[in-house]
């Protein structure tokens, strides 16, 4: 999540929380990154001053915060604290690290069917807990879904509607995001859990195609399409298209229930992941079991290139040739072609690419299977089999030399006390004390 520096008008302390950065701003207020005395990080939203002066808004906001306290589930950001009587009401939720679904798709391209189904299954479980608490989110969209290391999280219940709350909306406040809100929201009708099902279907369609199922345009155009036109699901995979089409039905009664949607997405996630990896899913509980591994699977090269080309066309308004990655030129002769473990690491033999610059080719392996040393990534050399063999040969040579020298010395000692020059040779004396007071031969020993 992108962070910005605090501005002059931003507060530095709110309640018991110290503010550090700006996380974003919306129709209701500004969201900050804060922390308490224990170091717990929170996302703290401060309501706009003009809304804080509206008593009707304060009453509705108090009911919604009370409803948010009742939500229990692992797929939502837990409410930590709130102050409804402050000059500018605020509430703090658990800070969720990780990019939003919107940012991930915008930067890396559409997700695979297994990834979309896995994320959708976890989100439907989260919505099930939200609806069981009597709350409707009303603004579910890709930017309000964070992909944390522990699974997707639903955030920003700022315009959520609780059972018994007024359905009136203050003039100037947002009631949803065009392209992701349900037709009944546009008409001003009552919202139900089916409203969030429509938004989830549009969000999963965005994850599949990197675009809203109702296209792009002004707010008026988008709202008209939501009410009067069918969703465009041409780029949605066949495994998900029928289910998402039912979620985007105009009539709320035709949409699947939250529980039914969760079960069907789990089945699709298991089937698609099984087909991708050739094996069953990892063991775990909940819809998010193994979701992070599947989400980290990047699209193939052709898919990434196709998505980059489409993004370029949307920005420039014209068509651009599809990029081609140049194939590396083959070596001219067999001697210059790298082989062995060095080539597997992407470097030339022995010299790490010296043959490619015109240096002599590396020597072939020896008779004993010795190979050239492998150059590590840090620049050093890792001893290979040839160095170990060289050390063994040196040790054998030293041992043999010592044995020969001892044999020669023993043979000369058997010839007599004199050497070939006629000079009397003293008998060897054992030394135990090193250099001492008696001389270098031992303690108290004298040279004859």
The residues annotated as belonging to the active site are: 139
DSSP secondary structure code for residue 428 in this structure: P
Please say whether the beta carbons of 442 and 432 come within 8 A. yes
Q: How many CB atoms lie within 10 A of CB 346?
A: 9
Both structure tokens of 2: 């992108």
CA dihedral over 387, 388, 389, 390, signed as positive or negative: positive
C-alpha distance from residue 62 to each of 113, 130, 132, 167 (Å): 40, 17, 19, 14
What's the CA gap between 111 and 433, in Å, rounded? 80
> Per residue, what are the HEC states of 20-75?
EEEEEECCCEEEEEEECCCCCEEEEEEECHHHHCCHHHHHHHHHHHHHHHCCCCCC
Backbone angles phi, psi at 150, to 5 degrees: -100, 5
Structural tokens at position 132: 């069981």
- Name 55's Cβ contacts closer than 8 Å, sequence gap at least 6: none
Q: Give backbone dihedrals phi and psi of 29, rounded to 5 degrees, phi first.
A: 170, -160
Give the start-end residues of each E strand in 302-433.
374-375, 381-382
Instruction: Measure the CA–CA gap between 153 and 229, rounded to whole angstroms.
Output: 30
Place of tokens 């009664």: 253
For residues 26 and 9, the answer to whether their CB atoms sit within 8 Å is no
Q: Which of 235, 217, 234 is nearest to 226 (CA)?
A: 217
CA atoms 255, 257, 261, 263: torsion sign? negative
Residue 179 φ/ψ region, left for φ over 0, alpha for ψ in the -120 to 50 degree band, beta for the rest:
left
Sign of CA pseudo-dihedral 102, 103, 105, 109: positive
The whole-angstrom separation of Cα 145 and Cα 149 is 13
Task: Return d(Cα 203, Cα 142) in angstroms, integer.
Answer: 6
């Amino acid at each position: 999540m992108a962070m910005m520096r605090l501005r002059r008008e931003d507060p530095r302390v709110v309640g018991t929380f110290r503010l550090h950065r700006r996380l974003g701003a919306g129709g209701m207020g500004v969201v900050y990154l804060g922390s308490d005395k224990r170091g717990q990080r929170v996302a703290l939203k401060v309501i706009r001053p003009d809304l804080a002066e509206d008593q009707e808004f304060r009453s509705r906001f108090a009911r919604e915060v009370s409803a948010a306290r009742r939500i229990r589930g692992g797929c939502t950001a837990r409410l930590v604290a709130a102050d409804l009587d402050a000059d500018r009401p605020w509430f703090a939720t658990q800070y969720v690290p990780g990019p939003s679904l919107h940012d991930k798709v915008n930067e890396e391209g559409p997700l695979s069917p297994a990834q979309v189904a896995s994320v959708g299954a976890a989100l439907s479980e989260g919505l099930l807990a939200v609806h069981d608490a009597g709350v409707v989110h009303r603004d579910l969209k890709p930017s309000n879904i964070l992909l944390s290391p522990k699974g997707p999280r639903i955030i920003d219940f700022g315009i959520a509607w609780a059972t018994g709350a007024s359905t009136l909306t203050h003039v100037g406040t947002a009631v949803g995001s065009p392209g992701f809100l349900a037709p009944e929201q546009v008409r001003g009708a009552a919202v139900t859990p089916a409203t969030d099902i429509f938004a989830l279907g549009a969000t999963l369609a965005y994850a599949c195609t990197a675009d809203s199922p109702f296209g792009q345009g002004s707010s008026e155009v988008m709202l008209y399409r939501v009410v009067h036109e069918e969703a465009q699901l041409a780029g949605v995979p066949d495994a998900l298209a029928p289910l998402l089409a039912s979620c985007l039905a105009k009539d709320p009664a035709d949409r699947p229930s939250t529980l039914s949607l969760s079960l069907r997405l789990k089945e699709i996630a298991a089937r698609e992941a099984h087909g991708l990896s050739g094996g069953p899913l990892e063991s775990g509980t909940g819809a998010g079991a193994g979701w992070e591994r599947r989400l980290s699977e990047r699209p193939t090269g052709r898919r990434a290139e196709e998505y980059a080309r489409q993004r370029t066309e949307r920005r420039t308004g014209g068509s651009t040739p599809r990029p081609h990655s140049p194939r590396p030129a083959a070596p001219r002769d067999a001697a210059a072609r790298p082989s062995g473990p060095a080539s597997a690491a992407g470097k030339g033999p022995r010299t790490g690419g010296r043959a490619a610059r015109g240096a002599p080719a590396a020597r072939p392996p020896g008779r004993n299977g010795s190979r050239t040393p492998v150059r590590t990534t840090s620049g050093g050399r890792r001893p290979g089999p040839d160095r170990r063999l060289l050390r063994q040969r040196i040790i054998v040579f030293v041992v043999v030399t010592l044995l020969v020298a001892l044999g020669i010395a023993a043979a000369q000692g058997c010839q007599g006390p004199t050497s070939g020059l006629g000079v009397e040779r003293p008998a060897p004396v054992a030394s135990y004390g090193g250099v001492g007071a008696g001389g270098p031969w031992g303690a108290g020993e004298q040279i004859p």
